[in-house]
Chains A and B, each alone.
With several copies, the nearest count.
Chain A
Amino acid sequence: MTETLSPDTGASTAPASGRRPPLRFARFRDLALVPAIVILLVVGALLDPTFLTTGNLLGVLQQQSALSLLVLAEAMILITGKFDLSLESTIGFAPVLAIALVVPTSAHGLGTEWAAWLAVPLCLLTGALIGAFNGLLILKFQLSAFIVTLGMLITVRGLHEGVSGGNSLFQIPQSFMFLGFETWLGLPLSVWISLALFVVGMVVLSYFRQGRSLYAVGGNVDAAKAAGIRTNKVIWTVLIIGGVLAALAGMLETGRLGAIGANLGDGMIFDVFAAAVIGGISLNGGKGTLFGALCGVLVLGLILNILRLTAVDGHWFNAIKGVIILLALVLSRLTTGKAQE
C-alpha cells in the first residue's frame, strides 16, 4: 500500500550521474590551500636557493611542530563549537609547573623536588586539569567559552609568572628534553609526534563515531543531544584533550629550545587561530577538517620561513606577513568559491 514513489529525481536534482559525484565537496574544500602552498613553494624557491633544501624544509616542520599541536587542539575545540584561548598560556605553564615541582630551589624549583620522572606525567596532568576547569566553568556555570578561556588565559599566564618568578627555567629533566630534541630516521621526533597525532586525529574525526560526534555537537547541539550524543561529555573530553595537547606542545618546545622562557607562548594564540581559520575551520562550529588545519599550519610556516630567508627589514616584517595572510585567505576563498565563516 505504501509504495515509495518512483524517485524521478531528474530535473530537480543534478543530472543523476553515478552514485558518487567526481569531486566531493568536503574533499574539494580540503584542498583549498594547496594552490597557496604551491605558490609559496615556487616563490620561496625563486627567492632563495636555500629554501628547497631538506635542511630548511625540515627546519620549517620542526619550528611548526609545537604550533601544529595547538592548532590540532584548537581545531577540534572549534569544530565542537567551543573556543579555547587559554591554550597559549597552558603551553608555557604546564611544563613550568612540572619542572618547578621536580627541580631544586636553586634552579627556581618550588622546593618539592619530586622524582624527575614525574615531570612528564605532571606536565600532561596540568594541561588536562586546565582543560577540565575550563569545561567546568563553561558547562556547569554556562558561561561563554570565549570569555572563560580568556579569563583562564590571563590567570594561567599569571600562574606561570608567579611560579617561575619570571625566570627562565633551564635545568630541564632528560625525559623532557628527549621529545623535543631527538631525531628519528632523520626527522626530529617532535615532527613525528605531531604528524602521528594529526593522522590519529584525522582518522578519528573522519571514521569514528566519537570523532563524528564533534561535528554533530558543533553543528547543532540540541539535535546531537536528541540523537543520543552525550554532548557535555564530548565537549569536556575535547577541552581536556586540548589542554593535554597544549602541555605536550610545551614539552616539545622546551626540548627544542633547551629551556622555558617566562613568556613562552605569548601571543601564539593569534597564530593558532590564523592557521586554523586559514585552514577552513569555522568559528561557528561543525565545519572544517584537520587536514585543512594542517595545511593552514604549513602555509603559515612557509610564509614565515620565506620572510626570514629574504631577510625583510624587521620593521616591515609584520606588515608583509599580515598582507600575505590576507592574500592567502582571499586566494583560498576564490579557489573554493565558498563564503567563509
Chain B
Amino acid sequence: MMSAVNHPAASEGLAAVARNVTKRYGRTVALDDVGIEIKDGESHALVGRNGAGKSTLVSILTGLQAADSGEVSFFGKPAPALSDREGWRRNVACVYQRSTIMPALSVAENLFINRQGKRLISWSKMRRQAGELLEPFGVDVDVNTPASDLTVEQRQLVEIARALSVGARFIILDEPTAQLDGPAIERLFERLRALQDTGITFMFISHHLEEIYEVCQTVTVFRDARHILTAPVAELGRAELVDAMTGEPGGLTVPGAADRPDVSQDSEVALNVENLTGDSFSDVSLRIRRGEVIGFAGSASSGKHQLAETVYGLRKPSSGVIEVDGRKVKPGSVLDALKHGIGCVPRDRHHQGLVLGLSIAENAAMTVMNKLGPAGLVPPKQLAGVGSKAIESYDIVTSGADQPVSDLSGGNQQKVVMARALASDPKVLVLINPTAGVDVKSKESLLGVVDRVARTGTAVIVVSDELDDLRVCDRVLVMFHGEVAHEFGRDWTEQDLVAAIEGVSE
C-alpha cells in the first residue's frame, strides 16, 4: 500500500506530465525526483502534509520556477521556455496558494489582468464581463472597487473566477477552499463539475480530504518531498490515504471535548466579557471558566471574528468591559491584553501573524521578548530555546529555529503563529481560524494542543468555520447579525448548528 503505484503506461491522453523533478531551496530539498501524470479530462488530487512539496510542484508545473532537474510536458509536447509566459498560460491556469491579487487594481481589472483586450481597452465592456464572471460565485461587489477592499473570501473567489475563465484546458487549484465557507465551496464545486463535463482537466490540492472524494477521480500522495503513491480515489479508503500521507499507520483521532472532564461550575471565571459592543457586534456578554473551551460559529457577517479580535485588543470596543481573572483589560490595547494573559492566533497569518523575514525563534518569542532576560535583554540561548521548543511541540518542518519563516510552507507557518500565541502561557487563548491551511495530521496536533492547554486550566475561545475545530469545545455559541443567537453544549449536532448559523432554527 505504501509503495508507489505503477505509472500508467499510456503516454497519450495525458494533459500534464512531470518526470524526475527535483527542486532544492538552499539546504532544503523541496522535491526529490518526483513525477506525476495527469490524464486528460480527469480531476487529479494532490495531497500531502504541510511542506511535502505540493506548491513547489505547482510552481514548476506553471512555469514560475525552473526545476533543478526533470521535465514537464503538456498534452504530449514539452513545456515552453520559462521566458515564454504566454506559452505557459495557454497550457495551464492556476489558483496559487499565495495571493496573486493586485490590491490597488479594481476587481474587474484583476479578473482580466493581461488580457484586457488587444487594442484600446473598453472599461465598460470589461466591467460588464467582470460582473458576469463573478455572478455564479455569488460575489456581490462593485467590480470597480479596488481589490484591497475585498474580504479574504472574496479575494479568493476572484482568483478562482479568473483561473476558471482563462480558457486553459488544464487548471490547477492549490488549496482553493482554505479561505472559503460552505456555500461558497458548494458554488465552486458546481462550477468545477460543469467544467469537468466539458472535458477540462484539474489538479486539485486540499487538506480537506472529503473534498477530494467529492470531486476527484485520482489521487497522488507526496511525503517528505517524495512521490508515495498514485491511485484511483475509489480504491483508496480515507484511513489508507492518511496513512500514506503521514507514513505511519494509526489514522486520525481528532480530540473531542467529551474526552475531557467536565468543567466544574465553581471553577474560576478566567474571562469575563460584559455588554461588549464593537465593530459588527453588539451587547455580547459571556463568561469562560478556567479550562473551558468555547467555540464561536456564525456566518462571515455574524461578527464572530470582530468579537474575538476585540477581546485581544486588535479592535477597540465602543462600550463594554473585558476582564481577565477579575481584572479589567484596557480596551483596544494588545499590550495590555498580553499583560493580562490573553494570547491570540489572528485571522490571517500573512497579515497579522508573522514577520516573514524573521526566524522561527524570533516569531515564536515575539510576545514574550520581555520575559527572556532582564531589562529587555534577549539572550540568544533563550531565544533559540523558544524556537526549538516550538518546533518540537508543534511539529514544524524546518531546517532549524533560525530559518526565516518566509521559507516555510503554509501549514508550517500557521504552526509558528500558534507557537507565538502560546509562548506566553496565556490564561485566555483566542484562536481565529487556527487550522486554516493545516494538514490533517497537523490539525490533529494543533487541536490536541488546544485540548492540552484546556486541561491545564487555560480558557480557550475558538472562532472557526470548520466543524472539526468546534468538536473540542465545551460550548458552541452561534452568532447571528452581531449577537449570540444560540448556545450548544458538547452534544451539538451538525444539522442544529448549521440551522442556527443560517438563522432558520427556532
Contact = CB atoms under 8 A, between A and B. Distances in A.
Interface of A: 1-17, 19-21, 24-26, 206-210, 212-213, 215-216, 219-220, 222-230, 282, 286-287
Given A4-B177, A21-B402, A207-B121, 19 more contacts: A1-B259, A4-B467, A5-B298, A5-B466, A6-B299, A7-B298, A9-B140, A11-B32, A11-B226, A13-B139, A20-B144, A21-B144, A24-B402, A212-B116, A212-B362, A216-B366, A219-B356, A225-B314, A228-B85
Interface of B: 27-30, 32, 51-53, 62, 64, 83, 85-86, 88-89, 94, 96, 98-106, 109, 113-121, 127, 131, 138-142, 144-146, 151, 153-154, 177, 180-185, 208-210, 224-226, 246-248, 253, 255, 259, 297-302, 312, 314, 334-335, 337-338, 344, 346, 351-358, 362, 366-367, 369-370, 372, 375-380, 388, 391-395, 397-400, 402, 404, 420, 441, 444-445, 447-449, 451-452, 465-468, 481, 494, 497-498, 501-503
Contacts, number: 313
Given A222-B100, A227-B367, A228-B367, A5 B445 contact: yes
A26 B402 CA distance: 9
B352 A223 contact: yes
Contact of A207 (B53, B96, B362, B380): B380
B180 to A, nearest CB: 7
18 contacts: A2-B445, A5-B441, A7-B298, A7-B302, A12-B224, A13-B151, A14-B142, A19-B127, A21-B27, A207-B378, A209-B121, A209-B377, A213-B114, A219-B357, A224-B366, A227-B100, A228-B367, A286-B358
A236 to B, nearest CB: 13
Nearest 5 interchain pairs by C-beta:
A2-B448, A7-B299, A223-B100, A14-B27, A219-B102
Contacts of A14: 27-28, 141-142, 145, 399-400
A49 B151 CA distance: 54
A220 B337 CA distance: 20
A1 B53 CA distance: 25
Given A216-B102, A223-B352, A9 B397 contact: yes
Contacts of A227: 89, 100, 113-114, 334, 366-367, 420
A10 B224 contact: yes
A13 B85 contact: no
Contacts of B358: 215-216, 219, 286
B399 A7 contact: no
Given A25-B146, A219-B355, A223-B353, A7 B102 contact: no
B210 A13 contact: no
Nearest to B394: A4
A17 B145 CA distance: 12
A335 B452 CA distance: 48
Given A219-B357, A287-B357, A226 B334 contact: yes
A220 B144 contact: no
Nearest to B482: A11
Most buried by B among A3, A9, A216: A9
A175 B145 CA distance: 48
